[in-house]
């Protein structure tokens, strides 16, 4: 018996809003740092920043990273040609251990000095005021540093009070470096350029700003989250209906005796469904398995042949022999690309929820023909 589901959770405003959305096929390919899960490790990021902000290193960027930082901070003065860096500086200020810390990065570009606290994954719980006091004490005017800037470099602006620190995002920093590099014809490439580019892409991928279309989708979801939750819950109800139908089908087919019906509640609606695999049954020199896959789009009937003796995956040559046998019986089929080296074919498809008797009849007829 087909269960009737009431689908009254959506109204016209929902459909109108949905129709106005534009969905982009936008996929950011992973870069090497992301593949090895190093893009979110602050120590890795700090070491790369330490390298590219030191103008004496052979990175081919010169003082372009410094130019980018000047632009983001709104510094209008001439950018110093040279800069050097210090990484992981121990900061001892006072006797209490809790007031001490370790500063991530200092950039010296006289008369400018930049203290950078690098944050990617962790919360901002560092003693920023202690860092500032340490810098004021150790880099006074006698050292030639009259302009000091304190920066928190992160993915998103922290909720915590930054006090005397300014926030700069990783995305904006690397984007500005790339922009400044494009305006400068004197930049060059070195053996490390591909790795630096990889870092830039990883940082941009991490917090790329939303496009106008993506912002509209976000607004739509925020305004309709209760209905979207109901739709998500509705998937399980549909899968339950499919399960009942498939159980009714396999109970009427001998080769599915004792076969389980499995749910496949996928992330997307198209792949939502249930399926059942038959027991092995023998056809000439092959052991075969039928699968019924009940989905929103279709009910697919699939046939997979194996070797008769050991029930192993067939070679391409043996599979071709099986196809020739099916053609000799005038059985129509659609060949699909192998999955995990297993060859299979689609021998029939039906519309879901259109009655089970046709599916049962088709499968029983097929088995009687090929055996």
Taking only the tens place, the pLDDT of each residue in 18-59 is 787 776 655 556 666 666 565 567 888 899 999 999 999 999
What pLDDT score does 92 carry? 61
Query: Peptide bond before 111: cis, by omega within 30 degrees of 0?
Result: yes
Taking only the tens place, the pLDDT of each residue in 309-319 is 999 999 999 99
Taking only the tens place, the pLDDT of each residue in 281-311 is 999 999 999 999 999 888 999 999 999 999 9
Site of tokens 């990783």: 170
Cβ(272)–Cβ(239) below 8 Å = yes
Burial track 117-156 (b if 16+ CB lie within 10 A, e otherwise): bbbbeeebebbbebbbebbeeebeeeeebeeebbbbbbee
Query: Which has more pLDDT, 185 or 160?
Result: 160
What pLDDT score does 23 carry? 66
What pLDDT score does 117 carry? 92
Confidence band, pLDDT 50/70/90 cuts, at residue 96:
very low
State the Cα–Cα distance between residues 343 and 196, nearest whole angstrom: 44
What are the structural domain ranges in the chain? 32-206, 235-370
In angstroms, the Cα distances linking 137 to 144, 161, 164, 240 are 13, 23, 16, 69
Strands 273-277 and 262-264: antiparallel
Question: How many beta carbons lie within 10 A of that of residue 49, not counting itself?
Answer: 23
Give 295's contacts (C-beta < 8 A, 6+ positions apart). Answer: 242, 270, 271, 272, 273, 352
- Mean per-residue pLDDT, 255-279: 85
Q: Which helix (H) or strand (E) holds 57?
A: none
Task: Tell me the two tokens of residue 11.
Answer: 């109204």
Specify the pTM.
Answer: 0.51
Query: Closest by alpha carbon to 255, among 367, 349, 346?
Result: 367
Q: Is the pLDDT of residue 202 over 60?
A: yes
Q: Which of 3-12, 275-284, 295-304 comes out lowest in average pLDDT? A: 3-12
Question: How many beta carbons lie within 10 A of that of residue 271, not counting itself?
Answer: 13
The sign of the CA dihedral 48, 49, 54, 60 is: positive
- Mean per-residue pLDDT, 243-257: 92
């Amino acid at each position: 018996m087909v269960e009737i589901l009431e689908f009254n959770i959506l109204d016209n405003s929902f459909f109108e809003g949905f129709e106005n959305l534009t969905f982009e096929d936008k996929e950011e390919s992973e870069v090497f740092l992301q593949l090895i899960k190093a893009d979110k490790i602050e120590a890795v990021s700090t070491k790369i920043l330490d390298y590219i902000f030191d103008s004496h290193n052979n990175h081919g960027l010169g003082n372009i990273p410094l130019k980018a930082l000047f632009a983001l901070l709104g510094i209008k003065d001439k950018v110093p040609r040279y800069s050097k860096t210090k990484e992981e500086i121990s900061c001892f200020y006072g006797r209490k251990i809790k007031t001490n810390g370790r500063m991530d990065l200092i950039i010296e570009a006289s008369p400018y000095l930049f203290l950078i606290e690098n944050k990617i994954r962790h919360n901002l719980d560092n003693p920023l005021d202690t860092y500032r006091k340490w810098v004021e004490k150790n880099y006074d005017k006698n050292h030639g540093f009259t302009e000091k800037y304190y920066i928190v470099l992160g993915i998103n602006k922290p909720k915590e009070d930054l006090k005397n620190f300014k926030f700069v995002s990783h995305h904006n920093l690397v984007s500005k470096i790339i922009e400044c590099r494009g305006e400068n014809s004197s930049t060059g490439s070195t053996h490390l350029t591909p790795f630096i580019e990889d870092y830039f892409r990883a940082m941009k991928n991490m917090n790329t700003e939303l496009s106008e279309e993506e912002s509209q989708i976000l607004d739509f979801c925020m305004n309709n989250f209760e209905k979207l939750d109901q739709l998500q819950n509705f998937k399980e109800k549909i899968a339950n209906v499919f399960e009942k139908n498939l159980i009714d089908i396999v109970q009427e087919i001998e080769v599915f005796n004792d076969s389980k019906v499995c749910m496949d509640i996928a992330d997307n609606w198209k792949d939502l469904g249930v399926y059942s695999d038959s027991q092995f049954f023998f056809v000439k020199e092959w052991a075969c398995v039928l699968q019924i896959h009940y989905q929103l789009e279709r009910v697919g009937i699939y046939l997979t042949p194996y070797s008769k003796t050991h029930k192993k995956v067939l070679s391409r040559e043996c599979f071709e022999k099986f196809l020739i046998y099916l053609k000799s019986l005038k059985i129509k089929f659609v060949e699909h690309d192998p999955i995990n080296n297993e060859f299979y074919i689609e021998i029939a498809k039906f519309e879901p929820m259109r009655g089970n008797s046709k599916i049962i009849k088709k499968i029983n007829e097929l088995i009687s023909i090929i055996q």
